[in-house]
Structure 1
Amino acid sequence: MARRETLGRPPGPRGHWLTGNTRAYEADRIGFLRRCHREYGDVFSYDEQTVFVIDPDLAHDVLARTGHGFVTELAPFDMRRDLDEAAAQATAWMSARRAAWPGLNRSAAAASDDRTVEILDSVLADTAGRETDVLTTMRAFTARAIADYCFGADSAGVPVLLDEIIHATQPFTESSYEFPAWLPIPRHRHFFQAARRLTDVLTGIVRQRRASRATAAPDDLLGSLLDAEPAMPDDTVASTLHSILMGGHGVPAAALTSVVWQLARRPRVAGDLRDEADRPTGDDALSTTAPSAAAPSAAARLPLAEAVVRETLRLYPPAWLMTRTAGTATALGDWSLDPGDDVLLNAYLIHRDPRWWRRPDEFDPDRWLTGRPAPGAACLPFGAGPRVCLGSTLAVRQLTLATSRLAQRFTVESPNAFSVVPEFMGRLAPAGLRARFAPVRR
């Protein structure tokens, strides 16, 4: 059958003559996208340079072609849209990914189980049973957990810097407007200062560790990177760790906030998780004995906890929008793109599409326990293709252990669990969720 001719730009709403679609989008982001999806289909134009995709096969096509045809989201303030530089950085990052993988695979992730649980216990103990902002608490946990994973005993001070950079980038995720980097406004100064401090601290840790390197086997990710062959320059090691720290902080924190939200609203699920954690296999999973290199997956030991995590990631994917930029003139299905066009892949709507999922808006962890829940292309919590999240194995393992521990040790009491709504800004999470973690009485 002959292939249809490429049609040009996808259709889309015209918007206001001056502000385009920005005001409508900012007023209700997911509502705007739902309306456009109904009216224009799975691919539609937002403006002359931005296209949204709500089709799993096309999303996978874009993700699979990242590195040749598409580049990842351009850096903040990249007003010149230097696509050649972005492609060069992508090539360098692929090399760094290969070097980092041995320190992030299943066996390496399993070795951090005990520390994950210890850190969560410590963070929740700090709340002393008081009502807290859940996202703030989960960020405290994930910042400490990923810093410890990367740097071990050298991680002191890194979690504070991660929190600072999250707050410095928040104004940019909340607005669709971009301003030139040279504009001396407070949010620019704050961002550059926070980014510089984090880079300086990471580079300092790398140099100090290399200078005092012993012959012992690496017991954290930094040690693994320093043992990589061929040897990586200090700045490459630091930038690789920077990417992993950022990915291992914001996304898991948002995901855990949504998990807490579900536990507060679904006491029966929390009770089932507690029963699973209290069974012998659960005790083994949350023991104080370090797992062996051949430790089973978290799913094998805590299948319900992992199912709850995966169902939460389906309904509330923290990376609800993923951006790729066309590096060259290329096709997207039956549509054409110009170099520099941004393609936004909407995992949230793909995950809730009845074409791919049964009862798509229903929270049902059992769908993950009874076989394949949906076509693989329709599940994108960590992306796909050559640039799939490098830390996805570690993230799912830590989220599973944290979910099980929360249910095992605490009852989640939230005054607003039934009134909060998801916030479609940077990382998707319920806005303003508050809770008290009350110790379970034995």
Structure 2
Amino acid sequence: MANGADTDRPPGPRGHWLMGNIPEYDADRIGFLRRNHDEYGDVFSYDERTVFVIDPDLTHDVLARTNRDFLTELAPFDTRRDIDQAAEQGDSWMSARRTVWPGLSHSAATEADHRTVEILDTVTGEVAGRECDVLTLTRTFTARSISEYCFGPDSAGIPELLDEALDVTRPFSGTSYQFPAWVPLRRNRRFFRAHRHTIETLYGIVRRRRASANGTSQGDLLSMLLGVHPEMPDRTVMSTLRGILMGGHGVPASALSSIVRELARRPRLAADLRAEAGGPAGAEAPPTARLPLAEAVVKEVLRLYPPVWLMTRTARTATSLGKWSLRPGDDVLLNPYLIHRDPRWWPRPDEFDPARWLGGQAAPGSAYLPFGAGPRVCLGSALTMRQLTLATSRLAQRFTIESPNAEAADPEFLGRLAPTGLRAQFRPISG
């Protein structure tokens, strides 16, 4: 776009005459954003319909106005930009969120503590003493955890569905240009096949559980949703649980991979976490008391390496973004990663320092956004924080973590932010 050609639009880089900014952005996404942030400021245009925002107050304003002036990211392959349909789906999702919220609260998450640790012990026990791919390990843990939390005794096979969903979406994260859905590319066919398989599988579980005599007595999230009044339609139950499954898999897995990287790089921190948890542990139950250092480590990792490093909102109507104007269908990309590393809001922003969270210190203003904000704040934030805090403490209790490439495994700015190719060995500590 022309620099400053439209006074209602923020300035931005002109880009290639045909491909715009796609080649430069895809070659180095965070480098591209840093350079343009330095040149154009906290708000700049990427193309005629896309604006980047790296300002905490404007970011919170957009998030607070979601559902009214903005919609969450439109569905993949929605090339028609059907704003009205997306708004209707958003309203339906908000109703479902209010229903399921008690089942994802802090108290509900705490009830799952022992099972969370049991799953972690099982998954890490399968690789203990030998080098493994960390992201594969953490995804296995989070897939099993969230599947059981949602579906209890009917969770068999669901972790594999979640892995498949990540595999089929990964090819789309590597490029900003997407071919329409009707183009018979292999990746398009795989995506739709996996999507149908997931929907059919989850829908089948919901219907079978509804028909069973003990359908609302299994103690999982599905039972809770089947027991609400007025009754939720099966398809609404299925779509609600599907959203929770997807969010409860990739995001915490990516965060836990970054936590493993920091524990491998910082043996003294691991020792302090071990001491907080009561020393080395065998198979005994985990501590149920609050773990302030482990929680501070999680918060600091989420600051430096937020898995959701970009959030997208789409203008529902003609609206404003600070002093700029937006049209219906314009995309606004919000960047927690750069906000979390901005020296205007954070002292020593690139330094890993869990101590900044100890002693009840709060985040500066609106500059901490690992779970978003506003009416569409992450539904599972309490569950994720509890899960990650327990996992951090338990890993430090049970293992010395060694990694041959922790220093070189920089985060990859594709999809959910996680260290690239991180490998580690989990050496058991005798109690």
Compute the TM-score of the two structures, normalised by the length of structure 1: 0.94
Deviation per CA, 1:216-246: give whole Å up to 9, x if none. Answer: 6451100111111211000100000000000
Looking at structure 1, the residues matched to 401 and 176 of structure 2 have their Cα atoms a distance apart, in angstroms, of: 35
CA 1:149/1:437 → structure 2, altered by over 3 Å: closer, same or farther?
same
- More divergent stretch after superposition (105-114 vs 211-220): 211-220
**How far 1:106 sits from its partner (Å)?**
1.4
Q: CA RMSD in A?
A: 1.6
Which position in structure 1 is the counterpart of 2:329? Answer: 340
Which position in structure 2 is the counterpart of 1:295? Answer: none
Counterpart amino acid of 1:46?
Y
Which position in structure 2 is the counterpart of 1:120? Answer: 120
Which position in structure 2 is the counterpart of 1:369? Answer: 358
**How far 1:175 sits from its partner (Å)?**
1.2
Deviation per CA, 1:383-425: give whole Å up to 9, x if none. Answer: 0000000000000000000010000001111000111211000
**How far 1:52 sits from its partner (Å)?**
0.3
Which position in structure 1 is the counterpart of 2:425? Answer: 436
Which position in structure 1 is the counterpart of 2:404? Answer: 415
Which position in structure 2 is the counterpart of 1:232? Answer: 232
CA 1:61/1:129 → structure 2, altered by over 3 Å: closer, same or farther?
same
Which position in structure 1 is the counterpart of 2:249? Answer: 249
Counterpart amino acid of 1:402?
A
Looking at structure 2, the residues matched to 396 and 171 of structure 1 have their Cα atoms a distance apart, in angstroms, of: 29
Residue pair 1:131, 1:437 contacting (<8 A) in 2 also: yes
**How far 1:126 sits from its partner (Å)?**
1.2
Tell me the SS of whatever aligns to 1:301. coil
Which position in structure 1 is the counterpart of 2:30? Answer: 30
Which position in structure 1 is the counterpart of 2:199? Answer: 199
Looking at structure 2, the residues matched to 130 and 192 of structure 1 have their Cα atoms a distance apart, in angstroms, of: 37
Looking at structure 1, the residues matched to 49 and 266 of structure 2 have their Cα atoms a distance apart, in angstroms, of: 43
**How far 1:7 sits from its partner (Å)?**
4.6
Which position in structure 1 is the counterpart of 2:274? Answer: 274
Q: Percent identity?
A: 69
Q: Does 1:397 align with 2:386?
A: yes
Picking from 283, 291, 298, the partner of 1:302 is 291
**Aligned pairs (5 A) from 1:23-172:** 23-172=23-172
Residue pair 1:102, 1:224 contacting (<8 A) in 2 also: no
Counterpart amino acid of 2:396?
A
Which position in structure 1 is the counterpart of 2:344? Answer: 355
Looking at structure 1, the residues matched to 401 and 253 of structure 2 have their Cα atoms a distance apart, in angstroms, of: 16
Deviation per CA, 1:294-336: give whole Å up to 9, x if none. Answer: xxxx7x6111001000000000000000000001110000101
Residue pair 2:216, 2:224 contacting (<8 A) in 1 also: no
Deviation per CA, 1:184-239: give whole Å up to 9, x if none. Answer: 11001111111111111111111111101428645110011111121100010000
Compute the TM-score of the two structures, normalised by the length of structure 2: 0.96
- More divergent stretch after superposition (67-76 vs 205-214): 205-214
Counterpart amino acid of 1:193?
R
Count of matched residue pairs: 425
Counterpart amino acid of 1:168?
V
**How far 1:436 sits from its partner (Å)?**
0.7
Tell me the SS of whatever aligns to 2:401. strand
Counterpart amino acid of 2:426?
F
Q: Does 1:288 align with 2:281?
A: no
Tell me the SS of whatever aligns to 2:424. strand
**How far 1:287 sits from its partner (Å)?**
5.7
Looking at structure 1, the residues matched to 62 and 193 of structure 2 have their Cα atoms a distance apart, in angstroms, of: 34
Moved over 4 A (4+): 215-218
Looking at structure 2, the residues matched to 394 and 142 of structure 1 have their Cα atoms a distance apart, in angstroms, of: 11
Residue pair 1:315, 1:363 contacting (<8 A) in 2 also: yes
